[in-house]
């Protein structure tokens, strides 16, 4: 479900708070509060990778890795794993964001994808995997998906009511099964569905680096996300893919920036740090450092 974008002054800002270790939650929430006080409509999306891995470890669970038929290494999520991850994403991180915003005077409301079907997903098809002995098998039990629709009317109603929605995985399929979805993809999907004025993805890295080992190689801006893909490794590739989806979905500007700086959201929006991405119609441009 989606809704027609609001007038520019009412189009929201989507702020995605990364789930890796080192993300400064209080710092980010202070900026969200300031945006709200300035009259902005804000939706927050939280990840929870570090909290999820910590809880899995304490429960003696793991997310096994496997090799697909085409040689890609994937991490698999099964029902017991997803139950634990949901506890971390929803019960720990999401509520920590809600409480931080409430403490600062903003009325926040936490939602996972199943609440009000705010995030509906397509479950990924069975995987053809290669076992350690070289034999191939079909895995039909893994629970991963892709966001297929966003309940924009619900989020719009909450925004109209003065709430800051705080959304996190998992999502729910049409037949009511919880599935693991990428939080960066969640943020870009919400940004596109709400006609956001900007998407800000914050994490524990300063932005896109031309050389991952050199913080001084920060790419300051680009209107060629595809051309920047060779620079992205690890989780950064997921973030650039999310940026690409948002831009192609009509979001005019997306930012990838650090949370552990002064005023991190404003630092990105005011182009004082991080990487700014736009989409140039009909052409490509080299990234500028």
In a domain? residue 283: no
Quote the CA–CA distance of 127 and 11 in Å, as a whole number.
39
Q: What is the CATH number of the domain that holds 186?
A: 3.40.1160.10
Quote the CA–CA distance of 154 and 156 in Å, as a whole number.
5
Q: Is the dihedral of CA 6, 225, 180, 50 positive or negative?
A: negative
In a domain? residue 141: no
Residue 37 near residue 69 (C-beta atoms within 8 A): no
In a domain? residue 140: no
In a domain? residue 3: no
In a domain? residue 135: no
In a domain? residue 117: yes
Hey, how many other C-beta atoms are within 10 angstroms of the C-beta on 163? 19
The count of domains in the chain is 1
Residues spanned by the domain of 91: 8-60+76-121+150-277
pLDDT per residue rounded down to tens, the chain (289 residues): 444 445 545 899 999 998 877 778 889 999 999 999 999 999 999 999 899 999 999 999 988 888 887 777 788 999 999 999 999 999 999 999 999 999 999 999 999 999 999 999 999 999 898 877 778 889 899 999 999 999 999 999 999 999 999 999 999 999 999 999 999 999 999 999 999 999 999 988 899 988 888 888 999 999 999 899 988 877 898 999 999 999 999 999 999 999 889 999 999 999 999 999 998 764 433 333 3
In a domain? residue 32: yes
In a domain? residue 181: yes
Query: Whole-structure pTM over 0.75, yes or no?
Result: yes
């Amino acid at each position: 479900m989606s809704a027609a974008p609001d007038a520019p002054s009412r189009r929201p800002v989507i702020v995605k708070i990364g789930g890796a270790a080192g993300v400064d939650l209080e710092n980010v929430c202070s900026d969200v509060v300031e945006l709200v006080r300035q009259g902005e409509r804000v939706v927050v999306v939280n990840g929870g990778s570090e909290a999820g891995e910590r809880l899995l470890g304490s429960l003696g669970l793991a997310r096994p890795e496997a090799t697909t038929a085409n040689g890609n290494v994937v991490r698999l999520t099964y029902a017991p794993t997803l139950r634990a991850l949901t506890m971390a994403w929803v019960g720990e991180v999401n509520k920590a964001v809600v409480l931080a915003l409430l403490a600062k005077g903003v009325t926040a409301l936490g939602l996972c994808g199943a609440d009000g079907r705010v995030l509906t997903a397509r479950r990924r098809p069975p995987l053809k995997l290669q076992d350690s002995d070289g034999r191939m098998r079909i895995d039909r039990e893994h629970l991963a998906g892709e966001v297929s629709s966003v309940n924009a009317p619900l989020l719009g109603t909450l925004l109209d009511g003065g709430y800051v929605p705080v959304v996190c995985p998992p999502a729910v399929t049409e037949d009511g099964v919880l599935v693991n979805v990428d939080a960066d993809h969640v943020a870009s999907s919400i940004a596109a569905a709400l006609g956001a004025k900007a998407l800000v993805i914050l994490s524990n890295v300063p932005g896109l680096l031309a050389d991952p080992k050199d913080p001084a190689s920060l790419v300051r801006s680009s209107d060629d996300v595809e051309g920047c893909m060779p620079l992205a490794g690890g989780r950064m590739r997921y973030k650039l893919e999310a940026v690409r989806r948002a831009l192609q979905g009509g979001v005019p500007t997306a930012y990838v920036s650090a949370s552990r700086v002064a005023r991190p959201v404003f630092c990105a929006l005011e182009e004082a740090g991080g990487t700014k991405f736009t989409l140039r119609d009909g052409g490509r441009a080299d990234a500028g450092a």
